[in-house]
Amino acid sequence: MEKLAIGIDLGGTNLKGIIMTEQGEGTHLTRVPTEAKKGGQKVLENILTLIDKLIQKEGSKDNIIGVGIGTPGFVDRDGTVIGGAENLPGWKGTNIYGPIQHRFGLPGTAGNDVTVAALAESRFGAGKGVRNMVCLALGTGIGGGLVINDQLYKGSHGMAGELGHISVETNGLQCNCGQKGCVERYASAPGIVETAIRFSQELDEKHQTQFSREVLRKPQALTSKIVYDYVKKNDPVACRVNEFTCDKLAHAIGIIVNSLSPDRIILGGGVMMAGQIIIDTVSRYVPQYCWPEIWKRCDLAIAQLEENAGVLGAAGLVFEDFTDRRTLDDRRIVD
Q: Are strands 299-302 and 264-268 parallel, antiparallel or unpaired?
A: parallel
Our finding on whether 285 is near a copy of itself (CB under 8 A) is no
332 near a copy of itself, judged by CB under 8 A: no
CA within 13 Å, CB half, 288: 13
Question: At closest approach, how far in Å is the CB of 160 from a copy of itself?
Answer: 4
How many Å apart are CA 282 and CA 299, to the nearest integer? 11
Give whichever of 167 and 224 is closer to a copy of itself, judged by the CB atom: 167
Which lies closer to a copy of itself via its Cβ, residue 184 or residue 214?
184
Please select the residue that binds a copy of itself; options are 263, 273, 279, 331, rule is CB under 8 A.
263
- Specify the residue, 148 or 203, whose C-beta has the smaller distance to a copy of itself: 148
Which residues, 296 to 325, sit near a copy of itself by CB under 8 A? 297
Residue 80, phi then psi, degrees to nearest 5: -95, 130
Q: Does 153 bind a copy of itself (CB under 8 A)?
A: yes
Enumerate long-range contacts of 46-49, CB under 8 Å, 24 or more apart: 46/15, 47/8, 47/10, 47/15, 47/96, 47/100, 48/99, 48/100, 48/103
Of 20, 126, 163, 303, the residue at the interface with a copy of itself (CB under 8 A) is: 163
Q: Which candidate, 313, 335, 252, 319, places its Cα nearest to that of 117?
A: 313
Contact residue for a copy of itself among 61, 165, 185, 240 (CB under 8 A): 165
- Establish if 127 lies at the interface with a copy of itself (CB under 8 A): no
The interface region with a copy of itself, picked from 22-30, 47-55, 147-155, 187-195 by CB under 8 A, is 147-155
The nearest distance, CB 85 to a copy of itself, in angstroms, is 11
Neighbours of 273 (CB within 10 A): 15
169 binding a copy of itself? (CB under 8 A): yes
Q: Which stretch binds a copy of itself (CB under 8 A): 10-18, 41-49, 53-61, 143-151?
A: 143-151
Task: Determine the distance from the C-alpha atom of residue 152 to the mean position of all C-alpha atoms in its chain, rounded to a whole number.
Answer: 13
- Cβ proximity to a copy of itself, 48 vs 148, nearer residue: 148
The torsion defined by the Cα of 59, 63, 68 and 69, in degrees rounded to 10, comes to: 0
170 binds a copy of itself (CB under 8 A): yes
Interface with a copy of itself (CB under 8 A), residue from 14, 101, 179, 323 = 179
Q: Is 132 in the site for a copy of itself (CB under 8 A)?
A: yes
Q: Is 256 helix (H, G, I), strand (E, B) or coil?
A: helix
- DSSP per-residue letters across 101-151: HHHHS--EEEEEHHHHHHHHHHHHSTTTT-SSEEEEEESSSEEEEEEETTE
Nearer Cβ to a copy of itself (56/176): 176
3-class DSSP state of 309: helix
- The CB density around residue 104, as the number of other CB atoms within 10 Å, is 18
Q: Does 144 bind a copy of itself (CB under 8 A)?
A: yes
Decide if residue 291 touches a copy of itself (CB under 8 A). yes
Q: Which residues here bind a copy of itself, judged by CB under 8 A?
A: 74, 82-84, 130-132, 144, 146, 148-151, 153, 155-157, 159-163, 165-172, 177-179, 181, 251, 254-256, 258-263, 288-294, 297, 326, 330, 334
